[in-house]
Each structure stands twice: as C-alpha cells, then as structure tokens.
Amino acid sequence: MSSNENPKGWQLGRELVEPHKALLCLPDEILEAAITEALPGVPVDFRSNSLWDSMQYANDVHSLSQICRRVRRILLPKLYRFVRLLKPNNKRRLSFLDLAPMHGHICEKLAFRIPGAGASFCTLVELLRDRCKDFTNLRTLQLDLRFDDDPNSSDKRYEWSCVSVHPSHRKMTARELHCWKDLCSALPRLSELHLHGFLLSDAVAGFAKAELPSIRTVGLSLAAPVLSVATASTFNRAFPGLVDITFPRKWCPSPAWISQAFAGRRLEQIVVNGGPLILNDADAHSCSVDGCNWAASIELLLELNALSLTSLTISSDKCKELASERSPLPYLTSLVFNDVNFADDEAILERILRPFLSSPLKHLGLDYCPDVPEAFCHWLDPKSGNWPGLETLSLENSETAVGPGDDLWDEEDPEARETWDRAEDNDDVYWRSHSRIALEAFCHKRGIKFTSEWYWFEGYG
C-alpha cells in the first residue's frame, strides 16, 4: 500500500519517526536499552524472565513493531524467544497462536496454560497441535492443564502467572484424551518437557504413540495415585534420551516401577520435588504406612544411575529413611536437601550426609531445612577432610541468635543484652553466634563461597 493510499497512517509514522532520527541511528544494543527503559511496564529481571509477564509491555512492543522495521527486528526476538502464557484467559493465547506462522520460529521456550474442559479444552489443544509445525526452534515446552479454570475469566485479578501446584485427579474424557494424544504426536523436537496439573496416567497415555527421542529433561508435577507397571514401560519407551528427571515427593513408586521406568537410562540429574514452601505442602503419599516403598525405590534409583549421576536434589523428610550404607555416587558434584527437618539431631545429620562423603561434591545445600544441628559447622572444618573440592555451600533460611562476636552484640550495653532472646530459650533451634562464625571462618579458609540468608533474633522471635 502506498502513502497516497493510506495518508493518515503514513503521516502518523512520519510524525513518530522524524523527531527521533538520531535515536534510530544508535547501535542496536543501545537502542534496545533505550526503548526498554522508555516503555512502561517492563517486567522485573526482563533479561531472564518472559516479557509476556507484562501485558502492557508486550502490547507496546507489538505496536512499535508495526510502524518501525528496525524496532521489529530488535525487539520481536526478545519478545518471542521466551513466551509465558499461564494466566487463565484464552484471548492472549489465541492471539499468540494466530501469529505463530509468522513468529513461531523465534520461540525457544514456551510456557502454556490450557484452561477448561470438554469442548474448550479440545479446541485449544487442537489449535496448539496445528501450530506445532511453526515452532521449528522450540526447545523447552511447559504445559499446565487446568480443567477447573474458566478460559473466559479476566486475567486482571491474577497478579502473577504461575503453574499449578496441586494437580487435579480428574481423568480425561475419551474426547479429551484423543486430542491430547494427537498433540503429543505432533510435538516438535524438544529438549525439555514439563507437565503440570493433571494425572500421570493420562499424560503417559498421550506418549503411547509419540516419538520423543530428543527430549533429555522431563519435569512432572502430576498426580499419581497409582503407579502401574504399564505406565512405567510406556514412559520408558517414550523418552529414550532422558538424562534429567523431576517428579513429586508425593509419588510413592515401587522398586518394580522404578526398574521399568528407568531401565537403560543413565540419569545425570534427579530432583525429588516438593510443593512451594509457603503452602506448607504435606509430605504425604497415597500408599499406607505399612506399604510405603519410597525409601527402597529412591535407593534403587540412585543405584541404577550411580555411574552417571552428577546432581541430586531431595525435598522430602523421608530421606531420613534412606539406608546409611548405600552404593557410592562417584560422579556426584551437586547435592541439595530442601525442607528436611533435622530436628537438631546429630544422628540424623550423620545418617543423611555420611553416604555422600565419598562423592566429589562441588556444591552442597541444606536449604529451608528446619533445625540443622550446629554441629554441622564441624563438617566443613578443614581438618575433617570432607569434600575437599567443595566450592559453594548454601544454608538458605537458616536461623541464628545474636551473640558474642557479632557487631550488634558487641556494640550493645550489657543491660540490653539481657533482654535479648537466647537460642536455648526458644522452642525453635537457632544457631548460636560462635557456631555460625566458625562455619563462616571454615568456609573462608577453604575458599568456599558461602551463601546463606541468616534470620536474626535480637530480643524477639
């Protein structure tokens, strides 16, 4: 269309561009930074997060791209490289899928929510299936199925976009399962697949005829009241290239299920995940206490992958049930325990950590673990010889009481100190200052980067 055919549009473009010719002469990186700073609503940490987290920012980028080719070349890749559409309303998802033939090749990471059930579910799943051919460079796909969502609800009441943390136990209807299977068979050559919000049995049914050899990382935040051998064999067949697995701590697989699901695999990373700590997610299993095989199954999983495993994260108090004598993990370099209550018990600490003393750890984390015994500081004493190659230590959410050696304590007068709570006067276990200072000194002497968010108590708990 010529300028004579659309004089108003041409005039608007000229009015926008003429005063800013000098700006358009800037190098791409500087121009990108200038535009990003000028546009309202830019997401926090926009370089690592999805720009779609801010609806206003995404709309402004689209508008600018329509009137300036250079802005389109610079900002559209930033906008479409990581797309996160996790709020319930379908309007933005449908708009994104409509543009997929033009921009889908840019997308490398997609987080996509599928709200609703029945016809609404099938319509969106079929549309996503048809657009899969346009995502030629997609490497990471995160799908969150929310059967209880209203796809027509307003996004304005949702400040954050996040995946579901409580997967539904609702089973797919025959029609929904048919659409799900078609989508799984149409997936592009992904390297990562993360699934949330529904049943493992339905998820695996979709993989029955799918060929997914390129997928190396699988994250499953799914409900699994029953873990059948048939489910295990289908899972194993669907992901022959699997090296990185994440599954919920609420799962209670049998050793037979573990053997079938991971036969022939050489896992490098295992994450037994818990729910968000703010939700106080119960560490419960669907099995009875007498029939719980969790510890035996995890021990078998570690044994099967002992010669390939480099990273292990366990977020379950049940790790205290693991046998203290186990196969060594000679290549494990990262070990993290989350949300494990050590109960200020040195025997528990010893039982959990001793099996890993022979591993060449570079990172050790005891994060959000209540009541880690103060005796842990001696495990890092250079004289102990423990983990000589350790580079980083993390004790997030640790608690300490102010005491001798702290600036706050030393600067205060004796009468004020008398009013401060002491560690031994509280029900919770706070580290005393001398133990914390000793740990920090050991880390400094060994050149270990120590990261911790110590919670301080200065007269109030």
- Residue 9's pLDDT is 40
User: Tens digit of pLDDT for each residue in 3-52?
Assistant: 444 444 444 344 445 555 666 666 666 666 666 665 555 555 545 456 56
**27's tokens:** 């190098």
Confidence at 326, pLDDT banded by 50, 70, 90 = confident
- Residue 4's pLDDT is 47
Rounded to 5°, the CA angle 57-140-50 comes to: 15
- 17 three-class SS: helix
- Residue 159's pLDDT is 45
- Residue 217's pLDDT is 98
Averaged pLDDT, 91-115: 92
Averaged pLDDT, 248-271: 96
Lowest mean pLDDT among 51-60, 225-234, 370-379: 51-60
- Separation CA 440–CA 459 (nearest Å): 23
How does strand 192-199 pair with strand 244-248? Answer: unpaired
Lowest mean pLDDT among 42-46, 341-345, 370-374, 443-447: 42-46
Q: Is the dihedral of CA 222, 224, 230, 233 positive or negative?
A: positive
- Separation CA 200–CA 220 (nearest Å): 8
- Residue 433's pLDDT is 80
- Separation CA 93–CA 99 (nearest Å): 10
User: Tens digit of pLDDT for each residue in 269-285?
Assistant: 999 997 654 445 555 66
E-strand spans in 325-388? Answer: 334-338, 363-367
Confidence at 436, pLDDT banded by 50, 70, 90 = confident
DSSP letter string, 142-158? EEEEETT--TTS-GGG-
- Residues in the chain, overall count: 461
386 alpha-carbon distance from chain centroid? 30
In contact, 451 and 392? CB cutoff 8 Å:
yes
pLDDT reading at 461 higher than 50: no
What does CATH list as the number for 86-235? 3.80.10
pLDDT reading at 171 higher than 50: yes
- Residue 53's pLDDT is 60
Averaged pLDDT, 411-436: 66
Position of tokens 């997929």?
A: 100
Tell me the range of 8-22, 76-90, 287-301, 321-335 where mean pLDDT is highest: 321-335
Amino acid present at 325: E
Top pLDDT among 455 and 158 is at 455
CB-count burial class (<10 Å; 0-12, 13-18, 19+) for 345: middle
- Residue 450's pLDDT is 92
- Residue 227's pLDDT is 92
In contact, 433 and 409? CB cutoff 8 Å:
yes
Give the percent of the chain with pLDDT over 70.
Answer: 72
Lowest mean pLDDT among 68-72, 192-196, 225-229, 449-453: 68-72
Averaged pLDDT, 318-345: 93
Top pLDDT among 237 and 19 is at 237
The contacts of residue 243 (CB under 8 Å, 6+ apart) are 216, 217, 265, 266, 267, 268, 269, 308
- Separation CA 79–CA 107 (nearest Å): 9
- Separation CA 227–CA 262 (nearest Å): 14
Q: Mean of the per-residue pLDDT values for the chain?
A: 83
Domain with CATH 3.80.10 in the chain: 86-235
Averaged pLDDT, 81-109: 89
- Residue 414's pLDDT is 72
- Separation CA 113–CA 195 (nearest Å): 10
pLDDT reading at 452 higher than 90: no
